[in-house]
Amino acid sequence: MLFRSFPDPMKVYYDPHSKEPDGSDAEWAITAEEVFKDEFKRLYPDVDITSWEAAGNGDQQGWYTKDSVRIAEYYYLEHNMQEITNPETGETRMADIKRCMWCKVGGHSVLEQTEVPTKYIPVVPVIGQEVWLHVLGLYLLPWTFQS
């Protein structure tokens, strides 16, 4: 198991419908990072970034700058209803079989993709201290406050 931190929390996009503090009910997560253009060209020599849009959806930085390229890792769950049999009783029932899929993307290019051997999204939020404002009905974390 590998644990990796994300120093910039604004580069982690998490399923907003997830309610569990450990994210075990999340359906997807995206992590993004910038790599130098030379490194990107070395890793993906056949990918032409000139066809990508410079700015991303709701994001001013976009997919590339003069010196760097943004790549994102996208984790998502696929659901497959499957009939399973209890070996002791012989009874069958339908079960939701989850598969975690991963792909690395840049712009509109899928750079790599595979199945991850888990049924959970392997990006775990570490929340820290939480503050719930009942009056306003807002869910705020301490780092959202400015002094």
120 pLDDT exceeds 80? Answer: yes
138 pLDDT exceeds 60? Answer: no
Residue 137 banded pLDDT, cuts 50, 70, 90: low
103 pLDDT exceeds 60? Answer: yes
Give the pLDDT confidence of 46-80 residue by residue, as tens digits.
Answer: 988 877 765 555 455 677 788 888 899 999 999 99
The model carries a pTM of 0.75
For β-strands 92-106 and 68-85, DSSP reports them as: antiparallel
